[in-house]
Amino acid sequence: MSVIIFFLTFLLAQPALSDDHANVPVGDGAFVALMVQAKDPDAYVAMLKKNPAPFQAIGSSVAGACVTKTGHDYPGQMFVYNGFASIEEAMAATDKYDAEKATPELMAIRQVQYNVMFKPLKQFT
């Protein structure tokens, strides 16, 4: 009986071993995200679209905003992200822009929560 259980266990375990777990190369670049609580997320995004100067000043390759619609921790939870060609550029950008010293218009419409930096797992364009 134990021989039968051994062979069944051996046969059932084969699919788990056959899965390909090859290393995937990590993408180039890095992202910086500023987590904020906006009083009116739509108005905040509209204001950012009208004023691209902060994004140009830090030299990001790509930028955007993401509003948390479900599962948010607080009302108005969202983040603004910037993508850079290298992690060095992303780190330098954190010195070029101080979110706590933004324009009075931005400070009136949002509250800064925290800033994060991460390396993407896949390539971005």
Q: What is the pLDDT of residue 28?
A: 81
What is the percent of the chain with per-residue pLDDT over 90, rounded to a whole number?
43
Q: How far apart are CA 42 and CA 45, in angstroms?
A: 5
CA distances from 100 to 17, 60, 97 (A): 51, 19, 9
Q: What is the pLDDT of residue 122?
A: 77
Q: Which amino acid is at 10?
A: F
Reported as a single tens digit per residue, the pLDDT across 17-34 is 555 556 656 678 899 999
Model pTM? 0.73
Check whether domain 30-118 has CATH 3.30.70.100, yes or no? yes
Reported as a single tens digit per residue, the pLDDT across 50-92 is 988 888 889 998 999 999 988 889 999 999 999 999 899 999 9
* Sign of the CA dihedral running 73, 38, 119, 100: negative
Q: What is the pLDDT of residue 80?
A: 95
Q: What is the pLDDT of residue 112?
A: 94
Q: What is the pLDDT of residue 34?
A: 94
Rounded to the nearest integer, the mean pLDDT of the chain is 84
Q: What is the pLDDT of residue 23?
A: 61
For the chain, the structural domain boundaries read: 30-118
Question: With helix as H, strand as E and coil as C, how does 25-64 read?
Answer: CCCCCEEEEEEEEECCHHHHHHHHHHCCHHHHHHCCCEEE
